[in-house]
Structure 1
Amino acid sequence: MPAAKKPAAPAKTTAAKSTAAKTSAAKKPAAPKPAAKAAPAAAGPAEGAAAPAFSMPASGGRTVSSASLKGKAYLLYFYPKADTPGCTKQACGVQEALPQLGKLGLEIIGVSPDPMKPIEKFAEKYKLTFPLASDEDHKVAEAYGTWVEKSMYGKTYMGMERSSFLIDGAGKVRKVWRKVKPEEHAAQVMEAAKGL
């Protein structure tokens, strides 16, 4: 009799194990979901593609638009926030290079999601004479693939990727820079603009 009772215990353990295996197997398909969220990569126009159209208010009471730039070469550079260290370094570098870039026939437009008030203050503070445009609804940034998911301190949020697009007189994207380093930007643009 005791011998007959002993095999019953392992049978229960095996049943419990198989139930646990089924439960964990049922939970496993939920794991790939976070990977699907991380998938969105920067889209936007590739080199050689037509530049998306835009029209935005800009510093100095100006309006910048792709229509008004028809036939001209220009640089559209996207930056995260006015008057922050990296954005200031980038803007001042562009301002410094403006005479040379002008000789190459290149117009410059900076774009951020800031409202006009901080943009105007930024332009005045650093004497930035090229237009700084406001893309508050980030529609232009979305068209250029620069409104992306970012993460800081374990939290994810949507924000502006520091990227630039060199566009020729025919409205075609000639050069794309992603995740631009502020201190190198002006020199890179100058070199690329020589080939326009």
Structure 2
Amino acid sequence: MEDTNTGASSQSESSPAPFKKWFMRQYWRIQQSQTIISMAFWVTTLTLLIWPYVKWRFEDGVTFAGISITYWGLLGIGASVMLVVLLVGLIYDVTFGLWREHMTIIGERNPFQTYQMSPNFAVILIQTNILLRKIAADDEEAMRHCDFVDRWLKWNIDTEIFARTMSGWQNIVEDEDPFLPYLDDEQRERLQRSVDELKTL
């Protein structure tokens, strides 16, 4: 019974603080509404900028359906702005399909899709490399590929994201031995020094 309580206590201590989680949830909600709010600002601003140039077309005191023609004019300008924005988006998406090239460029400029690896991916790659060495030990090309993967993994170990991940494994997950088999003793020490340096930042 005591072990169960201890485990629950450890889990609650390693979980994010309630206030931090609540605050970030509200921040995320604000971010999700930015597009709608930005559109509202766009429509309002452009409508008020355009109105002085066209208001002479709308006679004062004239109403339509019980509403002043001025408000109908403002509403029409706002709707026109939204339609123009929607039309541009439609052309961008359907006619030219520029989002494909946009996503391609994002991928080309993203180091984690080209030469740098995330620690989560690295752990999976380590496991497949170990298995490949066991089942294809006599295959020269397979071993050559495994050697390349080992060099690639060792190069990535000096990046900050690996130090932060190792710090998370040790301090948040509270794992006593987050072992990475492809590292030698010198590289393990260097990685641990990077983890220790993060604590002073």
TM-score by length of 2: 0.28
Higher strand proportion: 1
What TM-score comes out, normalization by structure 1 length?
0.28
